[in-house]
Chain A
Amino acid sequence: MRKLYHQIDNISGSVVTLRAEGVKNRELAEIDSRVGTSLAQVIKLAGDEVTLQVFAGARGVATDAQVRFLGHPMQVPFGDELLGRVFTGSAKPRDNGPELTMNPTDIGTPSVNPAKRIIPRHMVRTGIPMIDVFNTLVESQKLPIFARAGEPYNELLARIALQAEVDVIILGGMGLKHDDYLAFRDKLDASGALSRTVMFVHTAADPVVECMLVPDVSLAVAEQFALKGKRVLVLLTDMTSFADAMKEIAITMEQIPSNRGYPGDLYSQLAARYEKAVDFEGAGSITILAVTTMPGDDVTHPVPDNTGYITEGQFYLRNGRIEPFGSLSRLKQQVNKDTREDHRTIMDAMIKLYAQYKDAAEKQSMGFRMSEWDKKLLRYGARFEEKMMDLSVNIPLEQALDLGWQILAECFEPMETGIPTKMSDKFWPKK
């Protein structure tokens, strides 16, 4: 029988301190008070003073609340039973299903030995041409989606979840609006993808500590599936809420802020999560796509900035489209040589011409005279945006490449595109 404690000395934000003995760092405790029972985690020990972070927040916690230490760190159940279920950040059911307790698995486990990693080599098909053709997503990649609040990033994530060719999808929602959460659930349910999905959802109304737990529980479950040979796609939205939750706790703990109030270890904390993306030799893989909203559309804000240094490229979502410049998949070179021989050709040619179109469009807006070539570019740009860039376009890679040739053929002569003759001879659509 473990000892019960009844005397809480300090309560501030969601952090409480009390005197207790024999407590381990990062151990869980249960706090029982008038407002209910909540889990809490040890975050600091100083002599017999124990600092706890209360998952449900400290609102209504009384100084005489009962505190019971559980002797183990935060764990999450694991098994195929998780599929199709929705949980909170502290891994309690959010749907009406039963509470699960099998195979408790530690969260925040050690990092993968770099010597055990392999060079990524499999493409993840999404059916979105702007990803598949131009910035291919690769298994074990970690990629953020940088967007301004208000962009349809959750719709994009939901579509990727529906279409991506993976075995298991883990969705970690942080600071989600309740409507968005329901929209996600309904969309996945309607398409039948819910049965291969596990959702850990923290909504904006939930306690802030649970927000911080979402990436860890999501990735711990993902890791277990991957070790069982599953290809797992982890979708996180929104990592800026996660960083803000960390900021909130850090300030409550009276830590010295480094940049715009964020704690000094923001980089390490984000990296510890993103680096969970991995391709296990002889087992499965974890791929991470994470939305990072940019406050004020500013990429130099600490959260997107630190994220950019950690991840392997980024997608910019702007005006409802994945922006072809700025966006980058650092790993695409590893896979796009083996898809179809014209993949790289189409990718390079279309982007180069689109860049020229942008120049032409700028010239046009400034009232300069349009040459024949400029007019061709304008026609091309409009078609490219409508048929390729639009997020509702949903076609497999091969079809997208054919479409690319078709758009080019509608606007240009082969020699105008800068495509090597060998390629255009083979692929240029015959009239």
Chain B
Amino acid sequence: MDKTIGKVTGVNGNMITVAFTGAVAQNEVGYACIPGKDRPLRLMSEIVRIRDGVADMQVFEDTRDLQVGDALEFSGDMLAAELGPGLLGRVYDGLLNPLPELAEQCGFFLQRGTYLPSLDRTTKWAFTPVAKPGDRLTAGETVGTVPEGVHTHRIMIPFAWRGVYTVKSVAPAGEYTVEDTVATVTDAKGQEHEVKLMQRWPVKLPITCYAERLRPTETLSTGIRSVDTFFPVAVGGTYCIPGPFGAGKTVIQHQTSQYADVDIVIVAACGERAGEVVETLREFPELIDPKTGRTLMDRTVIICNTSSMPVAAREASVYTAVTLAGYYRQMGLNVLLLADSTSRWAQALREMSGRLEEIPGDEAFPAYLESVIAGFYERAGRVRLKDGSIGSVTIGGTVSPAGGNFDEPVTQATLKVVGAFHGLSRARSDARRYPAIDPLDSWSKYPSVIEQPRVEALRDLLRKGADVEQMMKVVGEEGTAMDDFMAFLKKELIDAVYLQQNAFNEVDACCPVARQREAFDVLEKIVSERYAYADKAEARRAFLQLQQAFIDWNNTPADSPDYATRREAVLNFVAEAPHA
């Protein structure tokens, strides 16, 4: 087949129009070629619209020096990710170029038109065959495995292959590179195909090679009390964290990426500060994951398209990230995808849409914003694979609403499709009450680590205490009844010792489920009692002391000899306090 040839006919920012001969496909990738001394500079682009025989393409790079008449080489493929062993522990840009390797080649700056393979071509992987000649397999079924870190990486029939394939031969156990053939299979027509360690998948399509999708019913432990207990996330579920700047979105994401009880974490730094990625990048190789004994980096992939990198690649980066997540799910693993921030991604869509001169919706966001956001979050899910094992993708996205006002298109579109909402409040972050997840506005549709009625009872207390607090602002402490005042103190206590958590304290940063249950039991016992203090000052003093004792307990390692005594110190309060 002849290669389709195109010619640039217009340039507007990072959007170009291209006239072509032959056939092209929507979302096909091509390269705009700026003539150079030795060889042309090739800029990766993607077709986003075809109108009147002219293709509108978004360029993933700076379009400086491009001119009308420059050649455009179409690739015949959609934007695709290389999938295979060797992705874990790496740092990529939104198009899956490895950044450290780019730095080796280009130095300090990102040079446009330089593309490197995502997977190392020389590393050898120890392959163990699983399928036998004669086996009949479909896409996503295992041919063999290679070890990658602590995980068994399945080598599967490529996801893009349709129909049933009969295994003709499988390579013997041994060392192979990602490009080596490890199996030969024949399709229904008798044609032979080669299975390699590596395959490619178009990032904008969901991977659906599983038997069935399951309901997310299990709580995913993040180690954050206020999340796991009050606003839980489910394995295979979705959640969002909207909040104004400075409310601590990134700290929560960072904490979650460290302590979440999952096999693999994909961090998609999408249009945010480069400095924040650098912290993850430099810290994770030093931090040890207690579950596996290896560094946190070994279970992490960073997709990093920071705010100053080209905007079209930002749009692609979330798809790249969710494709990697879907790939590892096919191995029966639990994957957590953290996208920071989905608003920047939505803004990338808006910029593109503006250049295409589409009719704008609310705040100039394109009309298809909601369906695109829904499509992204729907790629999460817990699935039963064809071999019966279970894998999951959980998606957590931050949202950066303009002016911190949740009543804007991206937040609203996201809220419609997620299973949990962790709204961060400016009032809480100003009062340094971290995590700033608003205990009254946030919600979750997933099961908590604590029985639901007990959680509700505590939330009622929080609500009542907040009401009293409002009232007290008007009538003053003097005008408040003792009962109401106690409700306020209880609310403050729950907030201080359970909702608030110090992300920078080694012990308190992660509160495992067992410990949360224990703390909840104690707290529940304390706040369900009725106390009879002589006056408000005395009550306040007693509760402040109790609060300090509880925080001391929170900060004590579970295996420390002080743990039991500090717990007793908290419980003693109930015994010693005057009761009604």
**Do A and B interact?**
yes
Please list the residues of chain A having a beta carbon within 8 angstroms of any beta carbon in chain B: 21-27, 44-48, 73, 108-120, 140, 227, 255-259, 263-265, 267-268, 271-272, 274-276, 280, 299-302, 305-306, 308-310, 312-313, 325-326, 328, 331
Q: Is the CB of B308 within 8 A of A272?
A: yes
Residues of A within 8 A of B11 (CB): 25, 44-46
Residues of A within 8 A of B107 (CB): 113, 116
Q: Is the CB of B9 within 8 A of A46?
A: yes
For B279, the closest partner residue in chain A by CB is: A119
- Chain B positions 89 through 122: 1 when the CB is less than 8 Å from some CB of chain A, otherwise 0: 0010000000110110011111110000000000
Q: Is the CB of B281 within 8 A of A115?
A: yes
Q: Is the CB of B108 within 8 A of A113?
A: yes
Interface-facing stretch out of B128-136, B137-145, B269-277, B509-517 = B269-277
CA of A293 to CA of B135, assembled, Å = 70
Q: Does B208 contact A (CB under 8 A)?
A: no
Residues of A within 8 A of B309 (CB): 111
Q: Is the CB of A267 within 8 A of B278?
A: no
Query: Could you tell me the distance in whole angstroms from the C-beta of B129 to the nearest C-beta in chain A?
Result: 36
Query: Could you tell me the distance in whole angstroms from the C-beta of A296 to the nearest C-beta in chain B?
Result: 13
Residues of B within 8 A of A44 (CB): 10-13
In B510-556, which residues have CB < 8 Å from any A CB?
A: none
CA of A24 to CA of B347, assembled, Å = 27
For B311, the closest partner residue in chain A by CB is: A268
State whether A73 and B10 are in contact (beta carbons under 8 Å apart), knowing that A46-B17, A115-B102 are contacts in the complex. Answer: no
Residues of B within 8 A of A275 (CB): 273-274, 306-308
- Chain B positions 295 through 310: 1 when the CB is less than 8 Å from some CB of chain A, otherwise 0: 0000000001011110
- Chain B positions 245 through 278: 1 when the CB is less than 8 Å from some CB of chain A, otherwise 0: 1100000000000000000000000010111011
State whether A110 and B111 are in contact (beta carbons under 8 Å apart), knowing that A73-B64, A257-B364 are contacts in the complex. Answer: yes
CA of A299 to CA of B244, assembled, Å = 11
CA of A119 to CA of B282, assembled, Å = 8
Query: Could you tell me the distance in whole angstroms from the C-beta of B504 to the nearest C-beta in chain A?
Result: 8
Residues of B within 8 A of A274 (CB): 308
Q: Does B350 contact A (CB under 8 A)?
A: yes
Residues of B within 8 A of A312 (CB): 273, 275
State whether A118 and B282 are in contact (beta carbons under 8 Å apart), knowing that A24-B65, A25-B64, A268-B307 are contacts in the complex. Answer: yes
Q: Is the CB of A310 within 8 A of B307?
A: yes
Q: Is the CB of A259 within 8 A of B402?
A: yes
CA of A308 to CA of B245, assembled, Å = 6
Q: Is the CB of A259 within 8 A of B363?
A: yes
- 11 sample A-B contacts, Cβ–Cβ < 8 Å, listed by A number: A22-B67, A113-B106, A115-B99, A116-B108, A117-B278, A267-B347, A275-B274, A275-B306, A313-B246, A325-B430, A326-B430
Q: Is the CB of B364 within 8 A of A258?
A: yes
Residues of A within 8 A of B65 (CB): 24-27, 73
Residues of A within 8 A of B347 (CB): 264-265, 267-268
Residues of A within 8 A of B363 (CB): 258-259
Q: Is the CB of B350 within 8 A of A264?
A: yes
CA of A313 to CA of B66, assembled, Å = 37
For B359, the closest partner residue in chain A by CB is: A256
Residues of A within 8 A of B106 (CB): 113
State whether A111 and B68 are in contact (beta carbons under 8 Å apart), knowing that A258-B363, A267-B347, A268-B347 are contacts in the complex. Answer: no
CA of A331 to CA of B278, assembled, Å = 13
Query: Could you tell me the distance in whole angstroms from the C-beta of A360 to the nearest C-beta in chain B?
Result: 15
* Interface pairs A-B: 9 shortest CB-CB: A300-B403, A271-B307, A275-B308, A258-B364, A111-B308, A308-B245, A115-B99, A46-B10, A45-B11
Q: Is the CB of A113 within 8 A of B99?
A: yes
Of A25, A73, A280, A299, the most chain B CB neighbours within 10 A belong to A25
Interface size on B, residues (CB 8 A): 61
Q: Is the CB of B66 within 8 A of A114?
A: no
- Chain B positions 1 through 28: 1 when the CB is less than 8 Å from some CB of chain A, otherwise 0: 0000000011111000100000000000
For A265, the closest partner residue in chain B by CB is: B351
Query: Could you tell me the distance in whole angstroms from the C-beta of B395 to the nearest C-beta in chain A?
Result: 21
Q: Is the CB of A120 within 8 A of B400?
A: no
For B250, the closest partner residue in chain A by CB is: A330
Residues of B within 8 A of A265 (CB): 311, 347, 351, 354
- Chain B positions 374 through 400: 1 when the CB is less than 8 Å from some CB of chain A, otherwise 0: 000000000000000000000000001
For B352, the closest partner residue in chain A by CB is: A264
Query: Could you tell me the distance in whole angstroms from the C-beta of A199 to the nearest C-beta in chain B?
Result: 25
Query: Could you tell me the distance in whole angstroms from the C-beta of A263 to the nearest C-beta in chain B?
Result: 8
Q: Does B344 contact A (CB under 8 A)?
A: yes
Q: Is the CB of B354 within 8 A of A111?
A: no
Residues of A within 8 A of B357 (CB): 256
- Chain B positions 455 through 479: 1 when the CB is less than 8 Å from some CB of chain A, otherwise 0: 0000000000000000000000000
CA of A73 to CA of B404, assembled, Å = 38
CA of A325 to CA of B432, assembled, Å = 11
Residues of A within 8 A of B292 (CB): none
For A282, the closest partner residue in chain B by CB is: B108
Query: Could you tell me the distance in whole angstroms from the C-beta of B476 to the nearest C-beta in chain A?
Result: 9
CA of A114 to CA of B273, assembled, Å = 10
Residues of A within 8 A of B557 (CB): none
Of B62, B245, B344, B405, the most chain A CB neighbours within 10 A belong to B245
State whether A26 and B307 are in contact (beta carbons under 8 Å apart), knowing that A110-B109, A112-B109, A112-B274 are contacts in the complex. Answer: no
CA of A113 to CA of B62, assembled, Å = 15
Q: Does B149 contact A (CB under 8 A)?
A: no
Q: Is the CB of A45 within 8 A of B12?
A: yes
CA of A140 to CA of B275, assembled, Å = 10
Q: Does B199 contact A (CB under 8 A)?
A: no
CA of A120 to CA of B403, assembled, Å = 28
Q: Is the CB of A23 within 8 A of B68?
A: yes
Residues of B within 8 A of A280 (CB): 108
Q: Does B360 contact A (CB under 8 A)?
A: yes
Q: Is the CB of A110 within 8 A of B274?
A: no
Q: Is the CB of A328 within 8 A of B274?
A: no
Query: Could you tell me the distance in whole angstroms from the C-beta of A218 to the nearest C-beta in chain B?
Result: 16
Residues of A within 8 A of B444 (CB): none
- Chain B positions 63 through 95: 1 when the CB is less than 8 Å from some CB of chain A, otherwise 0: 111111100000000000000000000010000
Residues of B within 8 A of A114 (CB): 91, 99, 274, 277-278, 281, 304, 306
CA of A302 to CA of B102, assembled, Å = 35
- Chain B positions 328 through 360: 1 when the CB is less than 8 Å from some CB of chain A, otherwise 0: 000000000000000010011011001001001
User: Of A115, A276, A300, which is within 8 A of B402 by CB?
Assistant: A300
Residues of A within 8 A of B62 (CB): 110
For A309, the closest partner residue in chain B by CB is: B245
Residues of A within 8 A of B91 (CB): 114-115
Of B65, B66, B274, B281, the most chain A CB neighbours within 10 A belong to B274
Residues of A within 8 A of B304 (CB): 114
Residues of A within 8 A of B110 (CB): 110-113
Q: Is the CB of A45 within 8 A of B274?
A: no
For B100, the closest partner residue in chain A by CB is: A115
Q: Is the CB of B112 within 8 A of A110?
A: yes
CA of A26 to CA of B65, assembled, Å = 6
- Chain B positions 44 through 67: 1 when the CB is less than 8 Å from some CB of chain A, otherwise 0: 000000000000000000111111
CA of A308 to CA of B250, assembled, Å = 14
Residues of A within 8 A of B103 (CB): 113, 115-116
Residues of B within 8 A of A112 (CB): 108-110, 274
Q: Is the CB of B274 within 8 A of A117?
A: yes
Other contacts beyond A114-B91, A258-B363, A326-B430: 13, CB < 8 A: A21-B68, A25-B65, A45-B11, A47-B9, A116-B103, A120-B275, A256-B360, A264-B351, A264-B354, A272-B307, A275-B308, A300-B405, A312-B275
Residues of B within 8 A of A255 (CB): 354
For A254, the closest partner residue in chain B by CB is: B357
Query: Could you tell me the distance in whole angstroms from the C-beta of B105 to the nearest C-beta in chain A?
Result: 10
Query: Could you tell me the distance in whole angstroms from the C-beta of A222 to the nearest C-beta in chain B?
Result: 14
Residues of A within 8 A of B102 (CB): 113, 115
CA of A269 to CA of B244, assembled, Å = 20
